[in-house]
Chain A
Amino acid sequence: MTAKDSKHPLRGIRSPLLPAVLALFVLSVNAQVDETLTEQVELEPAPEAGAEGYHQPPSLDDIPEGPFGDSVRSGWEAFVNTRQHPKAKRFVGNKQNCGNCHLAGGLAANSAPMWGAWGIYPKYRGKNDHVNTMDERIRGCFTYSMNANSSEAGGPPEPDSQVLKDLQTFFFWSAQGAPIGKNLPGRGYAAVPEPQNGSSVSRGEEVYQNQCSICHGSDGSGKFADDGRQIFPPLWGAGAYNWGAGMHRINTAAAFIKYNMPLGKASPVEKEAVLTDQQAWDVAAYINSHERPQDPRWEGNKASTDEKWHTHQCLYNETVRGHTLGDGAG
């Protein structure tokens, strides 16, 4: 199947045709005005931690009883078990949970923690002259990292919906005591400088097969229990993040991998790594040299989509192992 097929707006629509087409029309108009859904913005680097270390989120044991605590707990559950959560699972169009890329359930420094994000939004971006809200940021993560357009709901949660409220109540709770409007140490992933000679997909393959495939599978499809629960997340293919997600940028993936993977060896909070900068870049390139669900901003062909949306470090529309990437998967 070509990318074009998979993006054709009428494909798969059965009767009653008219309401479906109308709904689709409304949806796509919405997507155009809601400009934050058009990009998963790259974060600015966070400052190094000083003597006082990182923000300490409260313990999950101390979530209070009552409606506020219930909302925190629901938000935390939606974050770590997105695919099972009764209110969140409808919006998951791949096989990911939020916590897969934000370790310790969104609480670990240098793993893009939610307490680091909380005080940053609403954030004004001059580039598109718009104030981005947390609501929009999360909807963006659903659209790209969770591939929401292929979900049961067909798109990210509605603005101000209950699942977004619960997620934000959890973020707010985790950020208690942290200053507002400051780029905190430990926010985002700790950047890894690009090695002098760039990255190599074939060297990355070696790193991957030696150090990553035991969990993520040599074909990148992850591992699942009999009941469908995720054990290890897929890194490419239909179950993975899509071509618009932040993780498909090589620099971003390298930064995540360096201090978070292999699981149990690297340690984000202690900022310990076992891979060299070169290995992190190489394996980041290798992972992102495979097909994954199509970029939801598909412009009709790979070249135009590339030109409009992929002017960063990624392999979209590049030819690797004899194949020009960007066909999509699933």
Chain B
Amino acid sequence: MHGRCGFTCGLFGFSLLILLMPTMGAANEAGKKLAQQGGEGVQACSSCHGAQGGGNAAAGWPRLAGLNADYMAQQLTAMADGTRSNPIMAPIASALSEQQRGDVAEYFASLKPPTMAPGGEVDQKTLHRGETLAQRGDWQQGIPACTSCHGLQGQGVGVAFPSIAGQPAMYLQNQIKAWQSGSRHNDPNGLMASVAKRLSDEDSQAVTAWFASLPAKPSNNDQ
């Protein structure tokens, strides 16, 4: 079957690309404008998430550059409807239309993530514990390796499992806390909630420090 496809499929793919190009461009323009200048009742995203979407490690604001577009659009919806309750993002997300969420998400997804890891002050022992948890888990506590869901390098898997490599430690830790307290409960089937609830504060600190010590990887290369 494979051989037959070659030319026709190529042609089809090519014309699809041509057809899509103007729409992609338009979405990106609208998204870019929202990101850099904001919109009606919406502060510019870049004022918090960084000019290139690289995040702000000291403040605990997440990197958006290179995250999966559909994941980001879902998060914006969750922050608007309160299943992910956050006082800073709630009014912003609520002010965006569905179209705008998609546009701005697509824009940030298209940006290259920073090559520098956010890092932070941590001792080797903590980092080592973090790496062990990330790559092997702690089965005595029912915790699988984080990488078994978030990808072998924490780069994310599709829309359901976000990239966590190269996110600020404080941001990651805030998310674990949000699941533990129940203020974030938008995850599919409660998959992350059950992991978060098994993490001790010490382990949460260690594993988030380790992921913050890695540079981000673009997350869209999983099929």
Residues in A lying within 8 Å of B, measured CB to CB: 60-61, 103-105, 107-108, 210-211, 214-215, 223-226, 229, 231, 262-265, 267-270, 272
A-B contact pairs, 27 of them (CB 8 A): A103-B139, A210-B189, A214-B188, A214-B191, A215-B149, A224-B223, A225-B152, A229-B152, A231-B148, A231-B151, A231-B152, A231-B222, A262-B189, A262-B191, A263-B148, A263-B149, A263-B191, A264-B144, A265-B190, A265-B191, A265-B194, A267-B139, A267-B198, A268-B139, A269-B139, A269-B140, A270-B141
Interface size on B, residues (CB 8 A): 27
Closest B-chain residue to A224, C-beta based?
A: B223
Chain B residues positioned under 8 Å from A210 (CB to CB):
189
B157 within 8 A of A: yes
What's the count of A-B pairs with C-beta under 8 Å? 65
CA gap between A210 and B188 in the complex, in Å: 10
Interface centre among A108, A224, A265, A269 (most CB of B within 10 A): A265
B56 within 8 A of A: no
Partner of A272 from B142, B158, B195 at Cβ < 8 Å: B142
Indicate whether A269 sits within 8 Å of B191 (C-beta atoms), given known contacts A229-B152, A263-B148.
Answer: no
CA gap between A225 and B195 in the complex, in Å: 23
Chain B residues positioned under 8 Å from A267 (CB to CB):
139, 141-142, 198
Chain B residues positioned under 8 Å from A107 (CB to CB):
139
Chain A residues positioned under 8 Å from B144 (CB to CB):
103, 263-264
Interface centre among B136, B139, B158, B160 (most CB of A within 10 A): B139
Closest B-chain residue to A271, C-beta based?
A: B142
Chain B residues positioned under 8 Å from A226 (CB to CB):
221-223
Closest B-chain residue to A272, C-beta based?
A: B142
B118 within 8 A of A: no
Partner of A223 from B142, B194, B222 at Cβ < 8 Å: B222
Residue-wise, chain B 146-184 has the 8 Å CB interface mask toward A (1 for contact) of 001101100001101000000000000000000000000
CA gap between A60 and B140 in the complex, in Å: 14
Nearest CB of A to B1, in Å: 14
Closest 5 pairs (CB-CB, A-B)? A267-B142, A104-B139, A265-B194, A108-B139, A264-B195
Indicate whether A60 sits within 8 Å of B222 (C-beta atoms), given known contacts A223-B157, A267-B142, A269-B142.
Answer: no
- Interface SS, B side: helix
Nearest CB of A to B211, in Å: 17
CA gap between A272 and B221 in the complex, in Å: 34
Chain A residues positioned under 8 Å from B94 (CB to CB):
none
CA gap between A267 and B197 in the complex, in Å: 13
User: Would B149 and A264 count as touching, CB distance under 8 A?
Assistant: yes
User: Would A270 and B142 count as touching, CB distance under 8 A?
Assistant: yes
CA gap between A103 and B148 in the complex, in Å: 11
CA gap between A225 and B150 in the complex, in Å: 12
CA gap between A104 and B152 in the complex, in Å: 15
CA gap between A108 and B192 in the complex, in Å: 21
CA gap between A226 and B221 in the complex, in Å: 7
Chain A residues positioned under 8 Å from B142 (CB to CB):
264, 267, 269-270, 272
CA gap between A122 and B29 in the complex, in Å: 69
B31 within 8 A of A: no
Nearest CB of B to A68, in Å: 21
B102 within 8 A of A: no
Closest A-chain residue to B147, C-beta based?
A: A231
Closest A-chain residue to B160, C-beta based?
A: A214
B137 within 8 A of A: yes
Closest A-chain residue to B221, C-beta based?
A: A226
Nearest CB of B to A258, in Å: 14
Interface centre among A210, A214, A270 (most CB of B within 10 A): A214
Indicate whether A211 sits within 8 Å of B136 (C-beta atoms), given known contacts A225-B222, A229-B152, A264-B195.
Answer: no
B46 within 8 A of A: no
User: Would B137 and A104 count as touching, CB distance under 8 A?
Assistant: yes
CA gap between A270 and B189 in the complex, in Å: 20
B132 within 8 A of A: yes
Chain A residues positioned under 8 Å from B198 (CB to CB):
267
User: Would A264 and B132 count as touching, CB distance under 8 A?
Assistant: no
Nearest CB of B to A219, in Å: 13
Indicate whether A105 sits within 8 Å of B191 (C-beta atoms), given known contacts A263-B149, A264-B149.
Answer: no
Chain B residues positioned under 8 Å from A103 (CB to CB):
139, 144
Nearest CB of A to B116, in Å: 24
Chain A residues positioned under 8 Å from B158 (CB to CB):
223
CA gap between A99 and B139 in the complex, in Å: 14
Interface centre among B141, B142, B195 (most CB of A within 10 A): B142
Indicate whether A264 sits within 8 Å of B139 (C-beta atoms), given known contacts A223-B157, A226-B223.
Answer: no
CA gap between A66 and B190 in the complex, in Å: 44
